[in-house]
Amino acid sequence: MKRGKYKASTKPQKGAAKNEYLPRAVEITKIRDLSSDVKHYTLKFKDGKPFEYKPGQFVQVSIFGVGEAPISITSTHERGDDLEIAIRRVGSLTNAIHTLKEGDELFIRGPYGNSFPWEAGKGKDILFIAGGIGLLPLRSVMNAVFHHRKDYGKIWILYGAKSPQECVYADELARWGKLDNVEVLQTVDSPTAEWKGGVGVVTTLFEKIEFDPEKTISYLCGPPIMIKFTNITLEEKKMQPDNIITTMEMHMKCGIGKCGHCLVGHKYCCTDGPVFTFAELKALGAEE
């Protein structure tokens, strides 16, 4: 019998291992409400040291004694933004974070994960499609693209939410909509009397736009059911799975490819993702 041998795919690291589990303290400098259950936080590192990140990366956010969870970065380092995250109240940690006030403390480690390949889309048209709080992680790449506006062609933003009250970043969507060659289309499931956008699921907005699948890159984020139907529509419109880019949400405990909770097929969402093309997800058998 041939002897079994374990061989890691990457070279052993030299020197002492850094303690990646040890987070840094941040101060919450600003809080604003994005919807009834989503708050936006601006953060400042207490140690004053720099924190560099790319659009699409995430951080592990914790309150000691409550727990830790992965949260998307919604700001754009490229523009010199302060670190910003947006958090929906959904579990014990996020509920605890929602009780914090400006000046309070959080702990952050990261940034982790790959990033949106936003520079590869230069010269192309960009189609952003977001459902609900799927707009939060996409905001980082949107701002990167708008920061380099002249490098891109036409930009569409299709945004669907349950109701007008659930729409996040309404002010920014309105501002982006006024830019040249940018079209922002919104839809909700349950409209109010004042609602001016569409009614129905986000795929209904495809009837209102025309794009060239050959020269368009699509960024997509939202709940699983929305991702599924949007992908079907994009494929019907002859968009190549390589050009449909999404970011996944999974349960994560470590963020560094160790704890095993975020496996998507054999890939770790935390280190191999969270950004995947639809072609990659298909190969992993995880396109839904």
Partner 1 sequence: MKNLKVKTQNLVKLLDALKDASNLLAPQTDKYGDTYFQQVVDASQVVLKHFKPLMPAVREVLFGQLEDMITFKDTASGTKIKPVKAAKDTILFGLPNCDLDGILYNDEFFAKREFADFYYVNARKKLTIITLACLTPPNENCFCASMGHGPFAEKGFDLQLTDMGDGFFLVNIGSKKGQKIVDDNSSLFEAAGEADLSKWKELKQQAEESTTKKDVNKKKALDNMGRTPLKEQMIIEISDRCISCGACNYTCPTCTCFNVIDHKKDKAGTRKRVLDSCILGGYFRMAGGHNPKEAKEDRTRNRYFCKLLWDKEKLGDSGCVGCGRCLDACPVKVDIKDVIKQLSN
Task: Say if residues 182 and 150 touch (Cβ distance below 8 Å).
Answer: no
**Please, which residue, 113 or 121, has the CB nearer to partner 1?**
113
**CA 199 to CA 208: how far, in whole Å?**
13
| Termini Cα distance of the chain | 41
**Please, which residue, 102 or 105, has the CB nearer to partner 1?**
105
Strand 155-161 relative to strand 125-131: parallel, antiparallel, unpaired? parallel
What is the closest distance, in whole angstroms, from the C-beta atom of residue 111 to partner 1 in the complex? 13
**Please, which residue, 78 or 272, has the CB nearer to partner 1?**
272
What is the closest distance, in whole angstroms, from the C-beta atom of residue 69 to partner 1 in the complex? 7
Positions in the binding site for partner 1 (CB under 8 A): 1-13, 16-23, 25, 46, 64-69, 90-94, 105, 107, 224, 249-251, 253-254, 256-261, 263, 266, 271, 286
**Coil/strand/helix, residue 252:** coil
**Coil/strand/helix, residue 261:** coil
Task: Say if residues 156 and 126 touch (Cβ distance below 8 Å).
Answer: yes
**Please, which residue, 126 or 133, has the CB nearer to partner 1?**
133
Q: Give the closest residue to 171 by CA, choosing from 11, 73, 40, 273.
A: 40
- Between vectors from CA 286 to CA 125 and to CA 281, what angle results, nearest 5°? 35
The neighbour count for residue 283, using CB atoms within 10 Å, is 14
**Please, which residue, 13 or 192, has the CB nearer to partner 1?**
13
**Coil/strand/helix, residue 186:** strand
**Please, which residue, 21 or 209, has the CB nearer to partner 1?**
21
What is the closest distance, in whole angstroms, from the C-beta atom of residue 230 to partner 1 in the complex? 17
What is the closest distance, in whole angstroms, from the C-beta atom of residue 219 to partner 1 in the complex? 21
Token output for 78:
């490229």
**Please, which residue, 124 or 253, has the CB nearer to partner 1?**
253
Task: Say if residues 115 and 54 touch (Cβ distance below 8 Å).
Answer: yes
What is the closest distance, in whole angstroms, from the C-beta atom of residue 243 to partner 1 in the complex? 24
What is the closest distance, in whole angstroms, from the C-beta atom of residue 4 to partner 1 in the complex? 4
Task: Say if residues 237 and 230 touch (Cβ distance below 8 Å).
Answer: no
What is the closest distance, in whole angstroms, from the C-beta atom of residue 61 to partner 1 in the complex? 12
Token output for 189:
């499931």
- Could you tell me the strand order of the sheet in which 38-45 lies? 67-72, 58-63, 105-112, 24-35, 38-45, 83-88
